[in-house]
Amino acid sequence: MFLIPVENLQKVHLDQEEKKKEVNIDIDIQTQMDYDDSHAYNLSSLQQDEDQQQNLLNISSASADTIIAGNLNRKEKLKKRPIDYFTRTDDNAKVKCSICLHEYKYDPFSDSNLRSHLGFKHGLYNYLFPSQIKQRERHERKSTISPHLKQQLDAAAIECIVKDGLSFGTFRRAGMQHFLETIEPGYRGPTRQTVRKHLDKKYQERRSLLKNKLKDVPHISLTTDLWVNSRRHHFLVITAHYVDEHHQHISEIISFRRFRGRHLSARLKLFIINEIKKLNIESKIISITTDSGSDIKAATSSYEFGLRFSCDAHNINRTISTGLGLWNISTSKSKKPPITTAPNASSNDSDDELEGIRLIDYDPTYDEWIDDDENSDLDDEDYVPMIFDESESDSYSDSSDEDDDDSTHSQSQQDRQSSAGDKEQELQLLLSSPDELKNKISSLLKKNRKLIKMINKSSNLTLFVRNEIERKQMALDATNGPTNEEKIKINHLVNDFYIRWSSTYIMLIRLLMVQSIINNITYSPHTDIGLTTKQVKKLRSLRNSHLEWELLESLSNVLAPFYLGTKCLSGRKYTTLSLSYWITQNLFIYLTSETPNATFENELKGLLLNKFNLYFNTKMTNQQKCAKLVAAYLDPFTLAEMSTEEINEAEALIMREAETFAVAKKTSSTATATREQLQQPSTTSSSSSINSSKQSSLSTISRFRTSCRSSSIDSAATPKQEKKETPLTLKQELSAYISTSRSYEDYQSYWNEKKTLLPILSSFTRRYNCIPATSVASESAFSVAGYIDRKQRASLLPTTLRYLMLLKT
């Protein structure tokens, strides 16, 4: 038996201890790396609370993943740990350097920032990781620009990321790095962590600026809506609308926050009130515009939000969807006994439909970053979501379409309509029974959706149709000539979307433009383009008769005024409440007047008239009607087409409200100061800030007027009155307004010029014409949010999305 000296045993023991330390160090490093990954990307739902996650934006990526374990033996020479040079502050999340008293964030799992401070600030290089030394050397070699210039470029790059909805790491990608090196050698762009770090500061600055901006605004109107993103997070948006001292209509997103829990009206109400109080504008709110969902409607129908308006765009949607039955469910699927309800109960807005709107994935909104100037007439170019899978193969399978169950019925229907006698009999049946006409519209649209779906699924059919469209387009261009201003463009076929009736209109006008091509492939399908026998049979069963084409054309003609009216009301940079009154009146005139030699059109008008009266008359309160009338009176464009009775009624309402203000003036000094402030002339000229959006939308308004066949009142321009030294009374202002408004068509240009002459009416128009007629601003915000939060980029925290939405505007 051999005895081992004690010195050797101690040496073996020390070697084993050293190996254990190295193993522990490796484990610690791996644990740190795993924590960094999980901490950045796998946060729990509780950690993602918006009000507690602002610090997450400032997390910097540790460089522990580049540590070389073999070099860690230098730790034996260190007398102190890096943390020993720092002391804890009152805030446990920070530590203070004992040498220079500079504060740093403290992370128990990563001390790379502390090591960097000790090494590069105080010369304790032993504490630096090898990766930190290499990184500094690489930075010193490439950094050839001044810190001030780098700061300017970083700020511009972050602004670009926010405005264009880019990924945070855009400027560190290979292609962008090459571009930056070409235009500014040495500049690499901000990192993802740098962008996150600056978002919180920019958001706080934006909130402060918004609060100061709204401080001097006398009247503010709101819109609000709910949205669900692709990760099933619920958000609520609030937009503010007001008219500034230059009578320019301003729209701002003032809140975009995640909403947790059930959508109870009481919770929604408190949520909105809390957001308003944060900006100190609760006393300035005069109205709120929402959709007709039961949750948001109940939450906003109280005095805290002033007068509530139902979105006109949603009302038009409900009028057309329920009036014409564009997406009716087959009656065979729901044969239930009728339920006795109140007269208007059956016309209540469907919460399921509104929920479907809130669930739309706005990923493909690549054109949402274009300003809403409406300076182009691309009416039929609007984006329409496709409801088919383009990845499917050419072999169009009948069994894959749920609508193919009634293919036998469709074929028999075609056979029944082949004879002239049956055609006349069907025509009389459709004209005599509104229910039969609605069922016919529903089945006809269903058949043509199947046809468009089949064409878009098959590459052979798609190629053939597109070639025919290009050939027809060239023939049209040759006929019209290059000097023709109104160039007709034939677009490709698209299917409609069930919650957007306007997409049905776009589908129809595109289908009607290629009617001859559709008849060619359905009545005599060409087998030489690669169609199978099954596809040929299917195409023959989907052909449209002459009567059906006539019905589709009539349906398109009836929908046109509603489509153009909706476009007029969808602006965010000009007043819409005055336009709402004018458009409603024109649509009513259109629906109550008969079109010569258009039997189908007149019948369709009758179907829409009842629903139109319900949503735009019966369900509207007297206060809402009066507000729209006054707003229309105070807009020179709509005033020109108002009757004498309407003008007298509007003037009486203004006089009555002025008397109410006069009573309040005697009892409230605050009201007096506010009124005097409103009547003070502005010393700043803004004649150049004319609302170009309103001017550019006149073409759409003119087309709307033409489609409704309503004649405008043309009158010669009258000489402008000279300004008087003494202020006018309200009656004198009303007379002066009537005499001077006829030479103007633009709201902003008129009131910006006449605000000193008509100070009382100027205050009225700022109050009424800041009210939006639709909640388009809120829905547009969701469209932008869907693009920012798209699945092609990294997952964003709700807080980060909130920051980006307010900084985008």
Parse the chain into domains and list their residue ranges. 6-42+60-142, 199-324+775-808, 380-556, 579-768
Q: Which residue has the higher pLDDT, 261 or 38?
A: 261
pLDDT, position 428: 81
CA distances from 541 to 179, 183, 450, 537, 544 (A): 56, 61, 11, 6, 9
- What is the rounded (10 degree) CA torsion for 288, 294, 295, 297? 10
Stretch among 332-346, 433-447, 487-501, 545-559 having the lowest mean pLDDT: 332-346
Does residue 279 register a pLDDT over 50?
Answer: yes
- Positive/negative CA dihedral, 158, 162, 167, 173: negative
Read off the pLDDT band of 273 (50, 70, 90).
very high
Look at residue 587 in the predicted model and tell me its pLDDT: 92
Flag the least confident range among 95-99, 327-331, 488-492, 609-613.
Answer: 327-331
Among 47, 65, 63, 64, residue whose Cα is nearest residue 55: 47
Q: Which residue has the tokens 């995640």?
A: 258
Q: What is the mean pLDDT of the chain?
A: 73
Q: What is the DSSP string of 716-772?
A: PPPPPPPPPSSPPPHHHHHHHHHHHGGG---HHHHHHHHTTT-HHHHHHHHHHTTS-
Quick one: pLDDT band at residue 196, thresholds 50, 70, 90?
confident
CA distance 441 to 514: 20
Q: 199-324+775-808 belongs to which CATH class? A: alpha beta
Tell me what pLDDT residue 766 has: 83
Using pLDDT thresholds of 50, 70 and 90, give the confidence band for residue 137. low
Residues 159-169: what's their mean pLDDT? 87
Alpha carbon distances (Å) from 554 to 97, 577, 605, 726: 79, 30, 10, 58
Quick check: 737 and 729 in contact, CB under 8 A? no
- C-alpha distances in Å from residue 757, one per residue of 119, 412, 720, 792: 71, 72, 11, 55
- Confidence class for position 409, pLDDT limits 50, 70, 90: very low
Q: Over pLDDT 70: what percentage of the chain? A: 68
Dist CA 331 CA 369 (whole Å): 43
CB atoms within 10 A of CB 658: 17
Structure confidence at residue 448 (pLDDT): 93
Q: Hey, is 149 helix, strand or coil?
A: helix
Residue 315 has pLDDT above 80, yes or no: yes
Confidence at 668, pLDDT banded by 50, 70, 90: low
- Indicate the pTM of the whole model: 0.67
Range with the largest mean pLDDT of 64-73, 132-141, 722-731, 767-776? 767-776
Name the band, by pLDDT with cuts 50, 70 and 90, for residue 560: very high
pLDDT band at 328 (very low <50, low <70, confident <90, very high): low
% pLDDT > 90, the chain: 16
Q: What is the pLDDT of residue 727?
A: 77
Do the beta carbons of residue 625 and residue 601 sit within 8 Å?
A: no
Average pLDDT of the residues in 194-201: 88
Count Cβ atoms below 10 Å from residue 777 Cβ, excluding itself. Answer: 26
SS3 337: coil
Segment 497-505 shows an average pLDDT of 83
Q: How confident is the model at residue 485 (pLDDT cuts 50, 70, 90)?
A: low
Predicted confidence band at 499 (pLDDT cuts at 50, 70, 90)? confident
Residue pair 306/369 in contact (Cβ under 8 Å)? The answer is: no
- Which range, 329-333, 546-550, 698-702, has the best average confidence (pLDDT)? 546-550
Residue bearing the bigger pLDDT, 21 or 539: 539
pLDDT mean over 692-716: 57
Q: What is the mean pLDDT of residues 710-731?
A: 50
Reduce the DSSP state of residue 235 to 3 states and report it. Answer: strand
For residue 12, the model assigns a pLDDT of 45
Q: How confident is the model at residue 293 (pLDDT cuts 50, 70, 90)?
A: confident
Question: Mean pLDDT, to the nearest integer, of 561-582?
Answer: 85
Query: In this predicted structure, what is the pLDDT of residue 158?
Result: 92
Longest dimension (CA), the chain: 127
Q: Given a cut of 60, is residue 694 above it in pLDDT?
A: no
Whether the per-residue pLDDT at 394 is higher than 70: the answer is: no
pLDDT of residue 512: 93
* pLDDT at residue 401 in the model: 45
Q: Is the pLDDT of residue 648 over 60?
A: yes
324 or 359, greater pLDDT:
324
Tell whether the model's pLDDT for residue 37 goes beyond 60. no
Helices (H) and strands (E) in the chain, counts: 31, 8
Residue 697 has pLDDT above 90, yes or no: no
